[in-house]
Amino acid sequence: MTVTEQESTSAAPGEALVVLDNVNKWFGDLHVLQDIDVTINRGEVVVVIGPSGSGKSTLCRAINRLETIDKGSISLDGTPLPEEGKELAKLRAEVGMVFQSFNLFAHKTILENVTLGPMKVRKKDKAAAEKRAKELLDRVGIGHQAAKYPAQLSGGQQQRVAIARALAMDPKVMLFDEPTSALDPEMIKEVLDVMVDLAEQGMTMVVVTHEMGFARTAAHRVLFMADGAIVEENTPEEFFTNPQSDRAKDFLGKILKH
């Protein structure tokens, strides 16, 4: 493995929150995650970039076990991920997830989308859950649309609701799986603004994205993945101006040209 080890690349404070130790996964013959060792500290914002098919989404989804792994271990706040069942559900409640395709509950209103988890998982009463949901919706700028259904909102608005839905669980870490890839260009900014805001407030975040601007403004560390392995790991500034590996140079050459 050619991970570029760099001491003190992370400017983020805090102890280890998410630890991936020698994680491996195969889809049939395809080795989609190869010997992944990553530690994400509390309050740190880590951006994962790389060409499609490099395993970055799989890595992100493995952290809350939406993808199982075949070898190695993943732990959250010192607890290894449970196999299945109630324990796993409990752990997932601690991990917020934002999907590329938003995945808002289509049959529930915006407000119900945000209150469902707090009421069913945290057993909050309806009034408390709605009060908190409205605060969060206001924070992401959707407060006045709480009674609508997801299909009545634009993509950017839906994604902001999805962020509010995840935040309503007071997660320890937020995972973003290409949160802006399905959005029209003019809507990308409104979602990124919310994410930058979150990062500034000290949320621990793992962000799979192609948004180099976001990586530069908000990330403490960039992981560059290719063919299932972490090829390079550096600060955003160093990574974008002075990539070490040929794979990273090639990739950056392609995406930064336009």
Partner 1 sequence: MEAVTENLDLYWSGFLRSLSLIGWSLLGSLALGTVIAGFRVSPIASLRAFGTGWVTIFRNCPLTIVLFFMAFGLPEIGINTSFYVFGITGLVLYTSAFVCEAIRSGINSVDTGQAEAARAIGLTFTQTMSQVVLPQAFRSAVPPLGSVQIAMFKNSAVVGAFGIGGDLYSVGRNLTSAQGLAFIPVLTGVAIGYLIITLSAGALLAVIERKVAIAR
Question: Is 206 a binder of partner 1 (CB under 8 A)?
Answer: no
List binders of partner 1 among 64-93 (CB under 8 A). Answer: 64, 66, 84-86, 89-93
Nearest approach in angstroms of CB 208 to partner 1 is: 15
Kind plus residue range of the DSSP H or E element containing 18:
strand 16-27
Nearest approach in angstroms of CB 118 to partner 1 is: 9
Q: For partner 1, give the closer residue by CB, 41 or 64.
A: 64
Distance of CA 178 to the CA centre of its chain: 8
Question: Is 126 a binder of partner 1 (CB under 8 A)?
Answer: no
* CB neighbour list of residue 179: distance below 8 Å, 6 or more residues apart: 98, 99, 100, 159, 162, 163, 191, 195, 207, 209
The residue within the footprint of partner 1, chosen from 151, 201, 256, 257 (CB under 8 A), is 151
Question: Which residue has 């600060």 as its token pair?
Answer: 235
166 phi-psi bin (left φ>0, alpha ψ -120 to 50, beta other): alpha
Question: Is 123 a binder of partner 1 (CB under 8 A)?
Answer: no
Question: Is 125 a binder of partner 1 (CB under 8 A)?
Answer: no
Nearest approach in angstroms of CB 69 to partner 1 is: 16
Question: Which residue has 């290409």 as its token pair?
Answer: 178
Question: Is 196 a binder of partner 1 (CB under 8 A)?
Answer: no
CA–CA gap between residue 206 and residue 47 (Å, rounded): 6
